[in-house]
Amino acid sequence: MGKLVAMTGNTAAYTGAALCRPDLIAAYPITPQSSVVEGLAGMVYNGKLDSNFVQVESEHSAMSVVQGAAAAGGRVFTATSAQGLALMYEPYFRMSTLRIPMVMALATREMTSPETIWSGQQDAMSVREAGWIQMFCESNQEILDMMLQAYMIAEDPRVQLPVNVCYDGFYSSHLIEGLEVPSQAEADAFLPAYAGKTYLDPGAPAALDPLTPGDLMLKYRKNHLDAMEAAQAVIEEVDVKFAARFGRSYGGLIEEYKTEDADVVILTIGGMSGTGKDAVDAAREKGIKAGLVKLRFTRPFPAKRMAKALANCKAFAVID
């Protein structure tokens, strides 16, 4: 059993990331993600984390720096929100199409304009077709745990894709919950040391991602699609492995709550799921056979599991 600690979602994110022993971190502060970067910078500065922390001038630079380090065989991490995600748009796409694994925390927030920093999932949804794996977390415990799972998923030879760990800005990022923090030894036993493929080596100069002819591009796109589909089985396997070691299962691609005999089901994503479960319980007390499905991954989209979970209900509602 790990240490019981009360912490915000952002603290859970950087604590989980640190347990994964990233070789390099590069990020730029933006509300509501800033304390993720600040926390990791403090750990590196105070000698609590053996990692290279690169101060950059923008989110575009942050993604470019981690991209280069990952291409050189390192395990890397960054974090962002909203306009920061928009600014790193170009290298963000390139990260997935190069098929280089990494993890990025995304404290979700509505995009400008109108000018706002309010919580919402518009930023994450705007890039859901960019080729990254996207997972959404309900609780601070899930945020920490998904950092460990995300690296295992991303680095699996069948996948080799970057992963976004998404959670609700402010509602999750800044609010405090009690959670269990694994020891470094426990984390190391679950997530092995990274032996990434080295694409960039000064001793053997090579071109990375040169101009690609059409036929070869189609092949790369097909391989990318196959990897995204293969990720579904990997996600389920990793959830089982995590549960066996830490005693916590999140259901893999989706979580089902009281759906076995449900006539009506609500579909949720992220932090709203806890409130949704309370609504299901209240409906059950009134004799309404209600249930809930929490969509944990938007990419790859778990169509088969969703269809199975909703097959016997009379109606379902998607909560926006």
Instruction: Work out the pLDDT band at 136, boundaries 50, 70, 90.
Output: very high
Query: What pLDDT is attached to residue 156?
Result: 97
pLDDT at 203 over 80: yes
Q: Taking a C-beta distance cutoff of 8 angstroms, is the pair 259, 232 a contact?
A: no
pLDDT bin (cut points 50, 70, 90) of residue 50 is: very high
Q: How much is the pLDDT for 287?
A: 97
pLDDT for 206: 85
| pLDDT score, position 261 | 96
Contacts 24+ apart (CB under 8 A), 220-228: 220/97, 223/99, 224/96, 224/97, 224/99, 224/131, 224/161, 227/99, 227/158, 227/159, 227/160, 227/161, 228/131, 228/133, 228/161, 228/299, 228/300
pLDDT (0 to 100) of residue 222: 97
Could you tell me the pLDDT band of residue 2, with boundaries at 50, 70 and 90? confident
* Separation CA 29–CA 127 (nearest Å): 20
Q: Is the pLDDT of residue 216 over 90?
A: yes
Is 1's pLDDT higher than 80? no
Letter string b/e over residues 93-109, b meaning 16 or more CB atoms within 10 A of that residue's CB? bbbbbbbbbbbbbbbbb
Q: Measured at the alpha carbon of residue 132, what is the angle toward residues 230 and 27, in degrees to the nearest 5?
A: 140
Handedness of CA 94, 99, 102, 108 (dihedral sign): positive
Q: How confident is the model at residue 207 (pLDDT cuts 50, 70, 90)?
A: confident
pLDDT at 305 over 90: yes
pTM of the model: 0.96
Torsion region of 23: left, alpha or beta (phi above 0 gives left; psi -120 to 50 gives alpha): alpha
Q: Is 222 exposed, middle or buried (0-12, 13-18, 19+ CB in 10 A)?
A: exposed
3-state helix, strand, coil in the chain (%, to 5): 40, 20, 40
Which residues neighbour 166 within 8 Å (Cβ) at sequence distance 6 or greater?
Answer: 106, 108, 121, 124, 134, 135, 136, 137, 270
DSSP code, position 294: E
- The whole-number pLDDT of residue 113 equals 85
Mean pLDDT of 133-160: 98
Tokens 């493929």 belong to which residue?
197
Q: What pLDDT is attached to residue 196?
A: 87
Q: Is residue 119 predicted with pLDDT exceeding 90?
A: yes
Determine the residue type at 278. D
* pLDDT value for 18: 98
| 83 contact partners, CB below 8 Å, separation of at least 6 | 30, 111, 112
What is the C-alpha separation between 124 and 258, in angstroms, rounded? 28
Work out the pLDDT band at 210, boundaries 50, 70, 90: confident
Cα 12 vs. chain centroid, distance in angstroms? 13
> How many Å apart are CA 161 and CA 95, to the nearest integer?
8
The C-alpha atoms of residue 82 and residue 74 are separated, in whole angstroms, by: 26
Band (pLDDT 50/70/90 cuts) for residue 320 is confident
- Helices (H) and strands (E) counted in the chain, each on its own, are 11, 13
Residue 198: how many other CB atoms lie within 10 Å: 12
Place of tokens 């990419």: 299
